[in-house]
Structure 1
Amino acid sequence: MPDLDYLRREIEHMRVQVGRQRREILQLQRAGLSTASAELLLGRMHTKIDDLCAQRDRLKKELPAPKGNVLGGRSW
């Protein structure tokens, strides 16, 4: 099972890829070409990101909560 850092890196990588794919779709549309297959790929990429985010959230819940590290709290 992948660890939390791997999932975060993979999500970020996929988001970059989605941005590139969107730009390519816009170029195809400006050229008057069909974008149906590119849009299907974009949909699969979004589904993959959603799955990775769900895995990440599940792993985050399984991690033990940090002890007493309150932001801006007193240090006695």
Structure 2
Amino acid sequence: MDLEFIRGDIEQRRRQIARQRKEILDLQRAGISTKSAEELLARMLGKLDELCSERDRLVGESRRKYEGKDKFILGPQIRIGAKRS
């Protein structure tokens, strides 16, 4: 998956989680059982954690290292021969 796609998916899921939490509060105020809604929220949070882990892995892979060393190059990556816009 593309890094930008994963970032967009994470943001969308965070909004869904916020809506789900609000719905749980509404159900609690109404005195209705929230067990199934809380289970759904737990699954949503688990999927979000998976996506965040995948994003972090992709970000780590995209970092460049100094040749022959385990140090990462910090700052913007300048690619020789890349067209600038």
In the superposition, the TM-score normalised over structure 1's length comes to: 0.83
Pair 1:31–1:57, CA change in 2 (3 A): same
Q: Which has the higher contact order (CA 8 A, sep 6+)?
A: 1
State percent identity of aligned pairs.
54
Partner Cα separation in structure 1 for residue 50 and residue 20 of structure 2: 19
1:16 match: 15
Unaligned residue ranges in structure 1 (runs of 5+): 70-76
Code of the aligned partner of 2:24:
I
**What is the aligned length?**
68
2:57 match: 58
Q: Residue by residue, what CA displacement relative to the aligned partner does 1:20-45 show, whole Å, maximum 9, x if unpaired?
A: 00000000000000000000000000
RMSD (Å), alpha carbons = 1.5
Pair 1:68–1:43, CA change in 2 (3 A): closer
Code of the aligned partner of 2:4:
D
Partner Cα separation in structure 2 for residue 39 and residue 32 of structure 1: 14
Deviation for aligned residue 1:51? 0.0
Code of the aligned partner of 1:38:
A
In the superposition, the TM-score normalised over structure 2's length comes to: 0.75
Unaligned residue ranges in structure 2 (runs of 5+): 65-72, 77-85
